Amino acid sequence: MAEQKTTPEPKKQLPNASAALILGILSIVSGCFMLGLVLGIIGLAISSKDKRMYDENPQAYTGYGSLNAGRILSIIGIVLGGLSVFISLIWGLIVGGAFLSFLNEVTY
């Protein structure tokens, strides 16, 4: 009988690893704006699908390092964006309260 030689199937790149990394980087760069929060959420959502694919069959895929880095950067971007929104709301309340206080003291 002849021996059958099987060549291993080449590993495939995770489809959204690069996109998750780019969105994670952009969420940190624009983290001090509302855009950072949105990009971080999108990056985290995109990376969760690829993480499930990798967890099912780790030998079939490459690019998990980029995917994991994108997930971490997206989480940091979400935190920065959330803090930015929170600080903006507090600042708006302080300035709005001061303005209303000023309007109450003005006599017509």
Tell me how far CA of residue 81 lies from CA of 69, 89, 98, in angstroms. 18, 12, 26
What is the number of other CB atoms lying within 10 angstroms of the CB of residue 85? 14
Q: From first to last of its 108 residues, what are the pLDDT tens digits of the chain?
A: 556 767 777 888 999 999 999 999 999 998 777 899 999 999 999 999 999 999 999 999 999 999 999 999 999 999 999 999 999 999 999 999 988 888 888 766
Report the alpha-carbon distance of residue 27 to residue 42 in Å, rounded. 9
Predicted TM-score of the model (pTM): 0.82
Report the alpha-carbon distance of residue 27 to residue 91 in Å, rounded. 22
